[in-house]
Amino acid sequence: MICIKANILIFALLETIIKFCIMKRRDIKKDINSLCGDLFAECVALIQYKKDTNKNDVENVMLTILQMQNDMISRLSHVEPGSTRLFFKKLREDLLARTEDIVEQIKALA
C-alpha cells in the first residue's frame, strides 16, 4: 500500500513541477504543504499499522520531511530578483530529488 501511494505522490509531484513556471507562489506553497502532509501521513500510518518498524527511523524520516517543507517554503518566499527562471528550475530539481529520497526511505522502512 505504501509503495503504491508513494508512486502516486511522485506522479502528482511531477505534474505540479511541470506547472511551476506558470503558478503563483501561493499555489506552489500550498502544493508543497500538501505533498509534505501526505508524506508525513504515510509515516504516521507506518507507525500505527506496522508494529515491527523501528519508530526512531520513522521519526527521523518525519523530521526530514518537516525540514524539507520549511526549507522549500522559505526558499520560495525569498526569490532572487535577477534570475527567477534559474531559481525555479533549481527549486524544482531540489524538491524532486529530496522527495524521491524521502519516498525511498519510506519504502525501505515498509
Global pTM?
0.79
Q: What is the DSSP string of 73-86?
A: HHHHHS--SS-HHH
- Find out whether 62 and 40 touch, Cβ atoms under 8 Å: yes
CA distance 110 to 99: 17
Tens-of-pLDDT digits for all 110 residues of the chain? 455 555 666 656 656 555 555 678 888 888 889 889 989 999 998 888 888 888 899 999 999 999 999 999 999 888 777 887 788 888 888 988 999 899 899 888 87
Question: Distance between alpha carbon 104 and the CA centroid of its chain, in Å?
Answer: 12
Domains of the chain: 2-109 (1.20.120)
The predicted structure's pLDDT at residue 2: 52
